[in-house]
Amino acid sequence: MASIAFHKTHVGVVMRQVIAYRPFTATAEANVLALGGSFLYVHGQACMEISMCDTCSFVFTKLRDAPSVDLQGVIDRLHGGISTIGDDIIALLSRGLPAGEYIATLLEIEPTYTTFGQPDDYFSTEQGGVLEWALRSEGGLHDPRTAYYRTATTLVEPDAKFFEFVVPLHDPGSARRIDVWQQRMRKGARPVTLAIAFGDRLQPATWGGNPPVTTRLCVAHYLLDGHHRFAAAARAGIPIRLLSAYSQGIWARPRPPHEAVTDTFR
C-alpha cells in the first residue's frame, strides 16, 4: 500500500502531519495507566473499552469519566509547545506508560467535535451497513457513550479507508478555560496535548448489504491531558499538536498492528 496523502483543511494546511517521531520501550514504573484485556485503566479504574479485534467493527466505549493523566511531569514540557521529541520526554513516557513497544509521534491535526447520531458521527454514518454479531444487540450501530473528535479520513484503496479519532477521558467542562485557550491559540500559541493510541487494519468477518468500504485503517488516540486545549482548537478551527504514544504491541495483544497503520505514525 502506498503512503497516504492527506487533504488540506479549510485554512490551507494538510489535515494531518507527522512533525517528529521516535520509537521507545515503556516500563510502566509509574503505575498510573494499565491495560487489561480490552480495557484501559486509569488509577486502577477501567474507563475505556477499546477495539482489539482485527475481524470486528472498530469501536471504543467510555465506561466512566477519568481524570487527566500527567505522566511524571511530561505535561509541563508540552504547554509551551515542542517541535522535536527530546530524550527527556521519551524518558518520562517510558516510565509512565503501560509496558510495551511504542512510537512517540508528534502530530499536527485539525479536530472536529462530534457525538453519536450527528451527521459526522462515524458510528451512525460510515459504520452503517457493517453488521456484526457483536453489534446486533445495538441494532447494528455502536454508541461510544462519549463525545469525541474526528481528524483525518481519506480513501487509501478502492475499498479501504483511513479513519482517525481522538477520544477524551472526560468532558472538558470549564467554558472559561476553553475560551482562554482559544484566545491564546488565535494569537499564535501552539500547545501540545498528550495521548496513548491504538490502531489496526480491520476487515469485519461479516457485513450487511454491499458497502463500498470493507477494509478500515482505524486509529484512536485516547486523550490523557489537554482536554481544554483540544476543545479550544476544535471550536476555533485551529490545528493543534498531539504527542501520541502509538502502541506497537502490548500483552493484551502481542501481535503488532498492521504495517499500513503504523506507517501513518512515522
Burial class of residue 236 in the structure, from the number of CB atoms within 10 Å of its CB (0-12 exposed, 13-18 middle, 19+ buried): middle
Kindly give the confidence (pLDDT) of every residue in the chain, 266 residues in length, as a single tens digit, with 9 standing for 90 and above: 445 656 544 434 457 899 999 999 999 888 889 988 889 999 999 999 997 777 777 889 999 999 999 776 787 888 889 999 999 999 999 999 999 999 999 999 999 999 998 999 998 888 754 445 455 555 667 889 999 999 988 888 888 889 999 999 999 988 999 999 999 999 999 999 999 999 988 886 666 677 788 788 999 999 999 999 999 999 999 999 999 999 987 645 556 788 888 888 99
Ramachandran angles phi, psi of 20, nearest 5°:
-160, 160
What's the confidence (pLDDT) of residue 235? 94
* 141 and 147 Cβ atoms separated by less than 8 Å: no
Q: The pTM is what? A: 0.90
pLDDT at 136: 54
Q: Closest by alpha carbon to 59, among 160, 171, 138, 157?
A: 138
Which helix (H) or strand (E) element contains residue 236? helix 227-236
The predicted pLDDT at position 245 comes to 97
The per-residue pLDDT for 7 is 54
> So what's the pLDDT on residue 149?
97
Distance CA 190, CA 11 (A): 16
Check residue 98 and report its DSSP letter. Answer: P
CB atoms within 10 A of CB 57: 23
Q: How far is CA 147 from CA 62, 178, 231, in A?
A: 9, 16, 11
Q: Residue 101: in which H helix or E strand, if any?
A: strand 100-109
Phi-psi region of 55 (alpha: psi -120 to 50; beta: other; left: phi over 0): alpha
Q: What is the DSSP letter of 142?
A: -
The pLDDT of residue 8 is 47
141 three-state secondary structure:
coil
Q: What is the pLDDT of residue 224?
A: 96
